[in-house]
Amino acid sequence: MPSLRTPVWLLRGISSIPGVLALQGSSLSFVATDTGSAWPRQLRTLEHDVGAPGFAAAVESGASSVLFRWPTTEVRVWVPWYYFGGGLKIARGRSVLRFSFGRPANLRGSHLDAASEQIQEVRRMRARGDEWIAALRAADH
Tens-place pLDDT, residues 81-118:
888 889 999 999 999 999 999 987 655 555 555 667 77
Cα pseudo-dihedral 50, 52, 56, 61, rounded to 10? -150
pLDDT value, residue 138: 86
The answer to whether 19 touches 63, Cβ cutoff 8 Å, is no
Mean pLDDT computed over 124-135: 91
Tens-place pLDDT, residues 118-128:
778 888 999 99
User: What CA–CA distance (Å, rounded) separates 38 from 24?
Assistant: 27
Tens-place pLDDT, residues 42-87:
999 999 999 999 999 999 999 999 999 999 999 999 998 888 889 9
Q: Where are the domains of the chain?
A: 3-140
Enter the CATH code of domain 3-140. Answer: 2.30.29.30
